[in-house]
A = this chain, B = another copy of it.
Amino acid sequence: MSPAHPSSVKPAFVRPLNFRDGRIDMGHGAGGRASAQLIRELFVAAFDNEWLRQGNDQAAFAPLAQGLGERMVMATDAHVVSPLFFPGGDIGSLAVHGTVNDVAMAGARPSYLSASFILEESFPLADLRRIVESMAAASHACGVPIVTGDTKVVERGKGDGVFITTNGIGVVPAGIHIDGSQARPGDVVLLSGTIGEHGVAIMSQREGLGFETQIRSDSAALHTLVADMLAVTPRVRVLRDPTRGGLATTLNEIAGQSGVGMRIQERAIPVLPQVDAACELLGLDPLYVANEGKLVAICASGDAPQLLAAMRAHPLGVAAARIGEVVEDAHGFVQIETKFGGRRIADWLSGEQLPRIC
């Protein structure tokens, strides 16, 4: 399906978009002149790269992986976070970070992104521009251009402002084989920092809660942290970002994929005091709250010290910690050794604790 072609609209026929109090209408999704104008004056202007300027229905580029033993990866994420703007980010920056991170969790260097927008009729153009500019800033900061895209519009009441789906591709360097199935008994579980900020930031905003210290989402792109880690040892076995479902669910996923158990020391898991307090107030367990700028790494115990040192030397890993071990367990249980010396099983998230968190 054609997005409209920005380079080919004759500007003489069109008044500029009104970014002060204009709104999205159905014509912006019809594929004609209004679509082309939106693409040219908003998306191409903000994302600003050679591929979008060409105005084709796809982006073409040189082959990504050319070295011996390199592989490619692709990842996609739909973003429906509500509210659209929250402390520490918005749906635009989140849509960039989320997909960059999914690519990076294979140990890959992210190369290119695509972005598809589903807009609700009457959505304010001012808000859309704010989101798109935030996306552009995140993309530039990551060094990963948004090279192709699409825009659709649905009637009022058939969407919710804006949904953004991003897709990313990247290259896994030779010698890197990271996979959820590679955890082995005796391995060490590392966590790159404090948990729970993203989910708590969203829930606080949604519930209208004001805490003394504002809790900001940890939304961030982790690809340079991953690169620093792989520079000290290519033997990392598993990487994953504990997003929806939180740390506990992510550990359960990995345990299931690898056919192992985990033993996690609760006291070793870093949580900001204000997140702890907010979770108590909101009735949430930080172990199940989404993160958007953290990763779990599993490696052989001999590799753990240098990997942890590399993580702590990166701005996004200063609070990195060793939080537990991989153990043999036919049931695939994730056991938590509590702060009080007890033990409990941390199961998968069940139910809908935090809807539309990303």
Contact = CB atoms under 8 A, between A and B. Distances in A.
A268 interface: no
A118 interface: yes
A73 to B, nearest CB: 5
Interface string A323-349: 000000001100000000000000111
Contacts of A80: 29, 118, 152, 154
B256 A32 contact: no
B244 A35 contact: yes
B27 A58 contact: no
Given A2-B242, A116-B165, A290-B31, A72 B76 contact: no
Interface size class of A (residues with CB under 8 A): 35 or more
Contacts of A151: 78
Contacts of A103: 58
A317 interface: no
Given A114-B75, A243-B1, A255 B8 contact: yes
A78 B117 contact: yes
A16 to B, nearest CB: 16
Interface stretch (A204-212, A274-282, A350-358): A350-358
A5 interface: yes
B33 A348 contact: yes
A31 B155 contact: no
B72 A60 contact: yes
Interface in A15-61: 25-27, 29-36, 54-61
A75 B352 CA distance: 33
A256 to B, nearest CB: 2
Contacts of A172: 60
Contact of A349 (B31, B98, B358): B31
A214 interface: no
Contacts of A76: 114-116, 148-150, 165, 167
Central interface residue in A65, A79, A116, A149, by most chain B CB within 10 Å: A116
Interface stretch (A124-132, A186-194, A246-254, A307-315): A246-254
A115 to B, nearest CB: 7
B349 A167 contact: no
A288 to B, nearest CB: 8
The 9 closest A-B pairs by CB, nearest first: A8-B256, A31-B244, A32-B349, A63-B65, A167-B167, A58-B75, A31-B245, A165-B165, A5-B253
